[in-house]
Structure 1
Amino acid sequence: MKEIGLTLIILTVGIFSEWVLAAAPKKLCEAPLIVGWEYWEPFQFQDKQGNYTGLDLDILQAVFAWTQCELSFAERPWQRLLIDIQTGSVDILLGASKTAERMESSYFSQPYRKEKMALYIRAEDKDHYTFNSLEDIVYLPFTLGVTRGYYYGEEYEQLLKSRAFREQLVIVARDKQLYPLLLQGRVNGFLAETYFVAYNFLNKDNSKQVIRYPLPLYESDIHVMFSRKTVSADLVTLFNRHLQELSVKGYLQKIKSKYCADC
């Protein structure tokens, strides 16, 4: 497990220089806190220098820079991490949705971002469609790319009961497959998470061949999870206080904008 990269420390100190004179908070952790993570750009990954970065990890480390707590990192599959947070084998998980079941074994931070699903189409087709709901696709010769096992909202779940809608779907194993399928004309549109598409494709496609269609779909709050076995409620309260300061001072949005300016 690696320490937080020097570059990130310098960046964090620069961003938060106005806080340097503030009184140091009470230290609430004696040993380094173990952050469970799974490779998932743009939210959680390591850069070429081995630094832990991504939207979720940048926010976490920016907040913890002011708690006097050290972090260490453990990469594991998501389903394993959900078990480890219950047992206390890891202390922290990121990118989590709040559920009643998870609240039995974990504290949850205030939400720090939204998970948003959106419809993407080719820019040249933007005047060809007028969608007021996802159901409108059923009445058109429209093939829709989706990723197996993903949740796109209740409307999508209800539409899956329709054979006509299911026959319009092109289902892939990984969401990175969807963008090329659209450019190749093998689908007319696809559903995907907004930060993922912006970071992996839209930010790198100077020709602007794909656009996000302005159709409201599913969105939900995303939180940090803390194991009740190893983390105190006081530390979660401190985390939330600094997270709020990040937001009020505009730094939270600055971090988010590195990965998607309009998500």
Structure 2
Amino acid sequence: MRLLKYLMLSASLLLVACSDEKGSSSQAAKAEKKVFDCTITYGWESRKPYQFYENKKMQGIDVEILAKAANSANCQLDFVEKSWSELLEDVEAGKVDVLAGATPTQERKVYANFSKPYREESFVLFIPTNSRFSGDSLDQFLSFGNKIGISSGYYYGDAVDQLMNHVQYSRLFVGSATNEASFYNVEYGRAGGVLVDPVEGRYIMKRKGMTSKMKESDVTVPADSVAYMFSKKSAKADKIEIIMNTLESMVANNQVEKFIASYQ
């Protein structure tokens, strides 16, 4: 009987200890949970590995870098998914606070401020596997009357921009809401190739089962620096200034590289 009482007492003490430990852990977790005082609206379209929704959460290089910078301003991110051209209009109107992976242009600087460039982005022409084209220049591809699928609103650099406005070649550029749609335009014969970031292009082909149907050509557009694009009409100018300063510091201290490396 004495042994039974001892065992019951020991069990009771153990339960109390476990309960106290669990309660302490729960209180610590609550204490560690950060309370944000602002929300930054992040406009996005799916571009893996830069920004995408998977496993019930937003992920990607661009998302993680900005989340880190926003945290310094005590801000959390709220995500709005639309096409790139629609997002540009929303930034201009002040409906969206920020876009990632944007090239600073004079036209965009009218309604947006740009962070310090944080990574470089290049483009490659993807063509059908059975294509006979073997050249290495975009104007040569166009000179044969081939149409090129592009994402509407994207800036591909000055050289490509000149071709888009060329009297002979402008009609050969086929705009789509997404790069994925441009790949389908090639598959259905509405375009002869797609101009897209190589990492994104490879991902689209793999995900859509197009690896046997499409290939990378020798046509490349040199890398250009991209930045975060903040709406001048945002009501959170003070917070955005903190975020931009943090981004500049992250770039200067090579902190951005670890985010990029984690997806390679």
Name the TM tier (shorter chain).
Answer: 0.5 to 0.7
Call closer, same or farther: CA 1:103–1:137 in 2, change over 3 Å. closer
Which residue is 1:73 aligned to? 78
Name which of structure 1's ranges 109-118 and 199-208 shifts more when overlaid on structure 2.
199-208
Amino acid at match of 2:127: I
Which residue is 1:254 aligned to? 261
What's the offset of the Cα at 1:176? 1.9
Cα displacement string for residues 2-30 of structure 1 (whole angstroms, at most 9, x for unaligned residues): xxxxxxxxxxxxxxxxxxxxxxxxxxx97
Aligned residue among 160, 171, 174 for 2:174: 171
Call closer, same or farther: CA 1:104–1:146 in 2, change over 3 Å. closer
**CA-atom RMSD in angstroms:** 3.7
CA contact (8 A) 2:127 2:192 kept: yes
Call closer, same or farther: CA 1:131–1:153 in 2, change over 3 Å. farther
Which residue is 1:240 aligned to? 248
Which residue is 2:66 aligned to? 60
Which residue is 2:37 aligned to? 31
What's the offset of the Cα at 1:33? 4.0
Which residue is 2:12 aligned to? none
Call closer, same or farther: CA 1:117–1:45 in 2, change over 3 Å. same
CA contact (8 A) 2:103 2:227 kept: yes
Call closer, same or farther: CA 1:206–1:178 in 2, change over 3 Å. closer
Q: Structure 1 length as normaliser, TM-score?
A: 0.63
Q: Within 2, Cα distance between the matches of 1:241 and 1:62?
A: 12
Call closer, same or farther: CA 1:33–1:107 in 2, change over 3 Å. farther
Residue correspondence of structure 1 range 2-17 to structure 2 within 5 A? none
Q: Is 2:57 the counterpart of 1:47?
A: no
Aligned residue among 117, 131, 139 for 1:111: 117
CA contact (8 A) 1:182 1:190 kept: yes
Which residue is 1:199 aligned to? 203
CA contact (8 A) 1:34 1:71 kept: yes
Which ranges in structure 2 are unaligned for 5 or more consecutive residues?
A: 1-34
Q: Structure 2 length as normaliser, TM-score?
A: 0.63
CA contact (8 A) 1:59 1:255 kept: no
What's the offset of the Cα at 1:37? 1.7
Residue correspondence of structure 1 range 77-226 to structure 2 within 5 A? 77-78=86-87, 79-84=89-94, 92-99=98-105, 108-125=114-131, 128-140=132-144, 142-159=146-163, 160-163=165-168, 165-166=169-170, 169=172, 171-174=174-177, 175-184=179-188, 187-202=191-206, 205=209, 207-217=211-221, 219-226=223-230
Structure 1 counterpart SS, 2:186: helix
What's the offset of the Cα at 1:119? 0.7
Paired positions, count:
218
Cα displacement string for residues 14-52 of structure 1 (whole angstroms, at most 9, x for unaligned residues): xxxxxxxxxxxxxxx972341332333334443342x22
What's the offset of the Cα at 1:191? 1.9
Q: Within 1, Cα distance between the matches of 2:125 and 2:113?
A: 33
